[in-house]
A and B are shown apart, each in its own frame.
Chain A
């Protein structure tokens, strides 16, 4: 058992994606506690993506889109109904993969509710020291590590180490949560709305801290948020989710500059304007995000989409590469010349565009 600082090896090499998720599905039954044939909440319905080493993948979406469930599936806090996950080229907790306990050292999570994520009976130092001790570190080494980490996240160990969570502010608690996650020396950090509940001035401090830590420790981030500004600031790649599915995924500047999916476009224009002279005049979309219980056939967004046509109601679009940028994918019939949507580009145009890009 490892008693020295936890060391990880880069098993896959730089070209191997750190995390690859394929066709994850998770349905929750509604009522009928004995699993009787009832309705299901399609929380996560066929999600696939990859995160490269040292990158930040931002996941955005509204209530019911499944981003938090996806995070928990990736963190292996619950088992998916189907789908697979590969971490640095290895399966997890399966034959010839890495053991679950080792996986836990590589992947950690920072939760949204900074207060609920800390045991109210333990001091801050004890909370941070718990993790390394589980993996075999001695109590003394773990305490020293906890103090070092508190220092690193900007909290004086002498001043804060012996405090209880209720004696700290929201921003301080979140720093403790980050320190606790770092105690494992992880390679991937999932940040599930980690800055959402913080005051804006404190949020900026924590975001700076996250960026510094990422550079220092070669971390990879999975950043889940509903705040589009913050996602833009932190992410290299952005994934937009709606009702348990990915509707668009691509490099951050593509998504923010050339969003292709009507939902992404609506989301981006729903952000309040910062210029009093140019206020938002009309809402880009009406109604509330729908309930993911038994979603309809066809495209799940069709009932709120300003560009929907008959094809959208009958056939669900697949995630397809955008002609002008192979790294950008969208699940919309508008992007697919073969789908039969009236406004989709013609087949010839799509082919030319692809040629230009790959040339």
Chain B
């Protein structure tokens, strides 16, 4: 493919108000058709804010988005009015973390999906209902006909999440944004949802940006992983590269501190300190305070993002890949 489906260049997000917070700073991403990107990060990394900015969910007065965002050639930041409404849900759609909160409690699941379908295309009530039902069956909700007429509170967590995916996919978007969709779910339900997302993504040739703090979930669904820290992308690359040969000390720290059978009986290699406060960001590399390899240049200058061999990295002193 010559043009990537999603092209984000130097995107920044700043919240104004009582305090000015630069939630996201100059991130650049590209996503091909049908590719899944895992956006990995912790609190304050700006990963959820990035997704919401992509959907232009923040009100103009309080948040400023800079940079260039193109989805399927369309310039997202210049969209207005009707075009913006069509974009949301039609081109790009989102699945949220808390399935219980994302649905309106006074309408049935079926009604809400129908409303979404009819907001994007001139379709009769019957056709829209048929499409909605088909979507519910596709997300493998058992007894879809009955669930169509159910209210959100009548469904369990896993089923609500499936319903939310059905809602998000009802207008066949080109890009799906998933904001920690499995974090609030039980383990056995989580794996079902992850597998479902993988299947649907392949079937519909959809691009997905999957935000999570759980490396395991990212590994299950993503083709590429971008690691965010303090509003910047510190490392990006193919999933196998990131997991087996991380170059950035933060990525390596995250991987090393993950708990598992291998560490039993020994102290975990924890990354000291905690993520920075974005209203008072540090000078230089945001990770320098916690990094065991930090030197003067790290503490004074922000490392630029460098691209090489399909990977990006923002670090003055990357880990030696030869030693991996």
Binding site for B on A (CB under 8 A): 62-63, 169-172, 199-205, 207-208, 211-212, 226-230, 232-233, 256, 266-267, 270-277, 279-280, 282-289, 291
Q: Is the CB of B219 within 8 A of A276?
A: yes
> Given A272-B216, A288-B159, A288-B189, are A280 and B260 neighbors across the interface (CB < 8 Å)?
no
Contacts of B190 in A (CB 8 A): 270, 272
Q: Is the CB of B220 within 8 A of A280?
A: yes
Shortest B292–chain A CB gap in Å is: 13
B-side interface residues, number (CB < 8 Å): 43
Q: Is the CB of A201 within 8 A of B216?
A: no
Shortest A95–chain B CB gap in Å is: 42
8 CB-based A-B contacts, threshold 8 Å: A62-B186, A169-B43, A199-B42, A201-B270, A207-B270, A267-B187, A275-B243, A283-B188
Contacts of A207 in B (CB 8 A): 259, 268, 270
> Given A62-B188, A201-B270, are A274 and B243 neighbors across the interface (CB < 8 Å)?
yes
- With both beta carbons as reference points, the residue of chain A lying nearest to B242 in the complex is identified as A276
Q: Is the CB of A283 within 8 A of B187?
A: no
Over the window 184-208 of chain B, the binary record of Cβ atoms lying under 8 Å from chain A Cβ atoms (1 yes, 0 no) is: 0011111110110000000000000
Contacts of B231 in A (CB 8 A): none
Q: Is the CB of A272 within 8 A of B43?
A: no
Partner of B187, one of A202, A228, A287: A228
Q: Is the CB of A205 within 8 A of B219?
A: no
> Given A62-B188, A272-B190, are A233 and B157 neighbors across the interface (CB < 8 Å)?
no
Shortest A271–chain B CB gap in Å is: 6
- With both beta carbons as reference points, the residue of chain B lying nearest to A281 in the complex is identified as B195
Q: Say whether B81 faces chain A, with CB atoms less than 8 Å apart.
A: no
Given A229-B258, A275-B219, 7 new contacts (CB under 8 A):
A199-B42, A199-B275, A207-B268, A226-B187, A233-B268, A273-B216, A274-B260
Q: Say whether B17 faces chain A, with CB atoms less than 8 Å apart.
A: no
Over the window 224-263 of chain B, the binary record of Cβ atoms lying under 8 Å from chain A Cβ atoms (1 yes, 0 no) is: 0000000000000001100100000000011001111101
Shortest A58–chain B CB gap in Å is: 12
Q: Is the CB of B267 within 8 A of A288?
A: no
Q: Is the CB of B157 within 8 A of A288?
A: yes
Q: Is the CB of B43 within 8 A of A277?
A: no
- With both beta carbons as reference points, the residue of chain A lying nearest to B140 in the complex is identified as A286
> Given A62-B186, A230-B259, A233-B260, are A274 and B216 neighbors across the interface (CB < 8 Å)?
yes
> Given A62-B188, A284-B188, are A208 and B267 neighbors across the interface (CB < 8 Å)?
yes
- Most chain B CB within 10 A, of A275, A276, A277, A280, is at A276
Taken together as a complex, chains A and B put the C-alpha atoms of A283 and B220 apart, in Å, by 12
Binding site for A on B (CB under 8 A): 42-43, 142, 156-159, 186-192, 194-195, 213-217, 219-220, 239-240, 243, 253-254, 257-261, 263-264, 267-272, 274-275
Shortest A234–chain B CB gap in Å is: 9
- With both beta carbons as reference points, the residue of chain A lying nearest to B216 in the complex is identified as A272
Contacts of A273 in B (CB 8 A): 216, 219-220
> Given A62-B186, A63-B186, A204-B268, are A280 and B195 neighbors across the interface (CB < 8 Å)?
yes
> Given A272-B219, A275-B219, A287-B142, are A204 and B191 neighbors across the interface (CB < 8 Å)?
no
Contacts of B270 in A (CB 8 A): 201, 204-205, 207-208
Q: Is the CB of B43 within 8 A of A199?
A: yes
Contacts of A227 in B (CB 8 A): 259
Contacts of A284 in B (CB 8 A): 188, 191
Contacts of B257 in A (CB 8 A): 200-201, 203-204
Partner of B188, one of A212, A230, A289: A289
Taken together as a complex, chains A and B put the C-alpha atoms of A276 and B245 apart, in Å, by 13
Q: Is the CB of A203 within 8 A of B259?
A: yes
Q: Is the CB of A204 within 8 A of B269?
A: yes
Shortest A249–chain B CB gap in Å is: 19
Contacts of A62 in B (CB 8 A): 186-189
Q: Is the CB of B274 within 8 A of A171?
A: yes
Taken together as a complex, chains A and B put the C-alpha atoms of A204 and B267 apart, in Å, by 9
Q: Is the CB of A288 within 8 A of B158?
A: yes
Shortest B105–chain A CB gap in Å is: 19
Q: Is the CB of B263 within 8 A of A233?
A: yes
Q: Is the CB of B187 within 8 A of A270?
A: yes
Q: Is the CB of A272 within 8 A of B194?
A: yes
Q: Is the CB of B271 within 8 A of A271?
A: no
Taken together as a complex, chains A and B put the C-alpha atoms of A97 and B215 apart, in Å, by 48
> Given A201-B254, A230-B259, are A271 and B219 neighbors across the interface (CB < 8 Å)?
no
- With both beta carbons as reference points, the residue of chain A lying nearest to B290 in the complex is identified as A201
Shortest B55–chain A CB gap in Å is: 25
Q: Is the CB of B188 within 8 A of A211?
A: no
- Most chain A CB within 10 A, of B158, B243, B257, is at B257
> Given A204-B270, A272-B194, are A289 and B189 neighbors across the interface (CB < 8 Å)?
yes
Contacts of B219 in A (CB 8 A): 272-276, 279
Top-8 shortest CB links A-B: A272-B216, A204-B270, A204-B257, A62-B186, A199-B42, A288-B156, A288-B158, A204-B268
- With both beta carbons as reference points, the residue of chain A lying nearest to B271 in the complex is identified as A201
Shortest B141–chain A CB gap in Å is: 11
Taken together as a complex, chains A and B put the C-alpha atoms of A232 and B214 apart, in Å, by 17
Taken together as a complex, chains A and B put the C-alpha atoms of A204 and B191 apart, in Å, by 23
> Given A199-B274, A200-B254, A204-B270, are A289 and B192 neighbors across the interface (CB < 8 Å)?
no
Q: Is the CB of A270 within 8 A of B259?
A: no
- With both beta carbons as reference points, the residue of chain B lying nearest to A252 in the complex is identified as B264
Shortest B165–chain A CB gap in Å is: 15
Q: Is the CB of A283 within 8 A of B274?
A: no
Taken together as a complex, chains A and B put the C-alpha atoms of A199 and B158 apart, in Å, by 23
- With both beta carbons as reference points, the residue of chain B lying nearest to A154 in the complex is identified as B272
Taken together as a complex, chains A and B put the C-alpha atoms of A227 and B254 apart, in Å, by 17
Taken together as a complex, chains A and B put the C-alpha atoms of A79 and B258 apart, in Å, by 38
Shortest A183–chain B CB gap in Å is: 23
Taken together as a complex, chains A and B put the C-alpha atoms of A136 and B142 apart, in Å, by 59
Q: Is the CB of A289 within 8 A of B186?
A: yes
Taken together as a complex, chains A and B put the C-alpha atoms of A133 and B191 apart, in Å, by 47
Shortest B316–chain A CB gap in Å is: 20
Contacts of B259 in A (CB 8 A): 203-204, 207, 227, 229-230, 232-233
Contacts of A226 in B (CB 8 A): 186-187
Shortest B40–chain A CB gap in Å is: 10
Contacts of B254 in A (CB 8 A): 200-201
